[in-house]
């Protein structure tokens, strides 16, 4: 006889059974409510709702499901967008009407919304607020439309007492008007805004979110400057992507990871830095060099990711300052992604690859370097030369993907091999990795022999180990190496 815990003893339903003749063996209704909610949450929403028809005792189980996620069409200009969208809205309304409003952990809607649907949006916000959801994800963008039309009132996310249980908030494709009198988001830890139009006093609003640890702003408009106030002293991660601001200023005394993608603007960080990691992608010319020179606040980092899309060529390599206060004295690990995009037949179209050699000079303590390259166009002339790269006494491991023996790649590799005194191994991989671009990896078998041959000769010339990695699904295998007695990848 199973011992039941939970609600008071119910009359056994064994009398109603034929067949095996025993009492029912699994009484879902006798499980603790929060366990029921867990089980319901492990089913897809549709299936959970369908359990309501199993029996009267199962009817309301799904209404305690802790996570509610809805998906609708994301692109306006597709055939049945209107129909799919209407279906999605109907489903959301239906579900939230019946839900118990108890125990909601995550409430998520990803569906493009028209301006006339704002009445639904209001309803959804009211539901989210009254159900004390911890995580709210509202992505109302049509990805092929660039104007946000859905107004969202941040105050509506607060409950009747003006407070909020919200820990994590994602807003996409809305218009918001924050101001400093909105102070209910006291436990908000994560705030992500994507394609949001912001007016009003954003900095003042942020100052009231003192628990914030993660702030991400992607392609938002309406701000001239982005100022992160000093009240955000728990902020660990700050991401700024594609914002057309003139200046970025932050205090964020505890910041550990800073990410910036966009135009080169002044980036000012007040106070002493605990910054460990930075990710920088500057658009425009000479993105790589600028990443190393334009943001003094990131100098203390231990880990640096730089991205550069080399769209236009330039003719002069840039040497970096070598004063200690201009160098990355703590940088140990660097990843770099360069996409070469210049028009074919241009001279020095891939000079950005060579620029890396000089950038490395600003990181004398570097231990590992991972370089992912993708040549979108590969016919051109490469005539720049690296002169006087500094010696590196800590660089142990270098990895290069997208390595196909283009001239600049060879020059860079040789510079490193010649100047890195303690280099244990250089691993090169013709395959294009580390980028969301759909690179062409189908001709690898043609390229590989040439790369291996180069690796062999160069390895002998410099007396260093060069592995050629031919990555297969589920792990790396080393193809022909050279002076190597070790198999294995990175």
* 84 near another protein, rule: CB under 8 A: no
Question: Which of 47, 78, 80, 244 lies at the binding interface for another protein (CB under 8 A)?
Answer: 47
Q: Which of 7, 12, 42, 115 binds another protein (CB under 8 A)?
A: 42
How many residues touch another protein under the rule CB under 8 A: the total is 62
* Residue 353 structure tokens: 């690859």
Torsion sign, CA atoms 221, 219, 352, 257? positive
Stretch that binds another protein, among 27-35, 188-196, 231-239, 456-464 (CB under 8 A): 27-35
Least distance (Å) from another protein to the CB of residue 13? 7
> Nearest distance from residue 402's CB to another protein, in Å?
11
Residue 434, interface with another protein (CB under 8 A)? yes
Pick the binder of another protein from 335, 365, 377, 480 (CB under 8 A): 335
126 binds another protein (CB under 8 A): no
Does residue 460 belong to the site contacting another protein (CB under 8 A)? no
Give min distance, CB of 461 to another protein, in A. Answer: 28
- Closest contact distance (angstroms) between CB of 305 and another protein is 6
Token pair 């690296």 is found at 386
Q: Are 403 and 429 in contact (CB under 8 A)?
A: yes
Q: Which residues of 13-38 are buried (b: 16+ CB within 10 A; e: fewer)?
A: eeeeeeeeeeeeeeebbbbeeeebbe
Q: Which of 365, 433, 478, 480 binds another protein (CB under 8 A)?
A: 433
Neighbours of 398 (CB within 10 A): 27
Element housing 465 (H / E): strand 465-472
Interaction residues for another protein, span 272-291 (CB under 8 A): 276-277
DSSP three-state, residue 235 = coil
Task: Please identify which residue in 7, 10, 12, 55 interacts with another protein, judged by CB under 8 A.
Answer: 55
Residues of this chain that interact with another protein (CB under 8 A) are 2-6, 13, 16-17, 19-20, 22, 24-28, 31-32, 35, 38-39, 42-47, 49-59, 87, 90-91, 94-95, 98, 276-277, 302-303, 305, 332-333, 335, 368, 370, 372, 433-435, 475-476, 489-490
């Amino acid at each position: 006889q199973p011992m039941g815990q939970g609600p008071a003893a119910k009359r056994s339903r064994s009398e109603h059974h034929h067949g095996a003749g025993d009492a029912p063996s699994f009484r879902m209704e006798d499980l603790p409510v929060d366990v029921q909610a867990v089980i319901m949450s492990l089913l897809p929403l549709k299936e959970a709702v369908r359990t309501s028809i199993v029996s009267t005792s199962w009817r309301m189980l799904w209404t305690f499901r802790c996570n509610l996620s809805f998906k609708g069409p994301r692109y306006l200009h597709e055939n049945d967008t209107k129909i799919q969208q209407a279906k999605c809205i109907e489903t959301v309304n239906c579900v939230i009407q019946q839900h118990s409003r108890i125990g909601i952990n995550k409430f998520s809607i990803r569906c493009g919304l028209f301006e006339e649907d704002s009445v639904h949006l209001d309803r959804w916000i009211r539901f989210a607020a009254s159900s004390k959801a911890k995580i709210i994800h509202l992505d109302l963008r049509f990805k092929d439309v660039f104007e946000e039309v859905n107004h969202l009132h941040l105050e509506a996310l607060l409950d009747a007492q003006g407070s909020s249980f919200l820990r994590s908030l994602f807003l996409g494709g809305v218009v918001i008007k924050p101001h400093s009198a909105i102070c209910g988001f006291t436990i908000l830890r994560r705030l992500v805004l994507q394609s949001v139009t912001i007016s009003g006093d954003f900095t003042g609003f942020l100052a009231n979110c003192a628990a914030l640890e993660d702030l991400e702003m992607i392609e938002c408009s309406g701000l001239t400057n982005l100022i992160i106030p000093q009240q955000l002293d728990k902020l660990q991660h700050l991401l700024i992507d594609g914002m057309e601001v003139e200046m970025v200023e932050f205090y964020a005394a505890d910041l550990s990871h800073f990410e910036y993608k966009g135009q080169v603007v002044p980036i000012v960080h007040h106070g002493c830095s605990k910054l460990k990691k930075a990710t920088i992608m500057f658009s425009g010319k000479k993105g790589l060099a600028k990443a190393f020179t334009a943001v003094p606040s990131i100098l203390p980092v231990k880990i640096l990711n730089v991205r550069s899309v080399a769209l236009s060529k330039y003719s002069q390599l840039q040497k970096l300052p070598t004063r200690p206060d201009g160098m990355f004295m703590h940088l140990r690990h660097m990843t770099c992604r360069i996409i070469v995009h210049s028009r074919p037949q241009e001279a020095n179209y891939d000079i950005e690859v060579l620029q890396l050699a000089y950038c490395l000079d600003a990181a004398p303590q570097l231990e590992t370097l991972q370089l992912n390259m993708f040549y979108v166009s590969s016919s051109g002339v490469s005539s720049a030369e690296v002169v006087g790269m500094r010696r590196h006494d800590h660089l142990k491991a270098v990895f290069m993907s997208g390595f196909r023996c283009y001239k600049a790649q060879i020059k860079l590799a040789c510079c490193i091999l010649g100047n890195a005194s303690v280099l244990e191994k250089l691993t090169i991989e013709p395959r294009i990795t580390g980028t969301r671009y759909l690179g062409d990896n189908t001709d690898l078998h043609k390229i590989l022999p040439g790369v291996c041959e180069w690796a062999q000769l160069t390895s002998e010339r410099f007396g260093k180990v060069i592995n050629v990695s031919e990555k297969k699904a589920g792990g790396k295998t080393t193809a022909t190496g050279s002076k190597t007695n070790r198999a294995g990848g990175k």
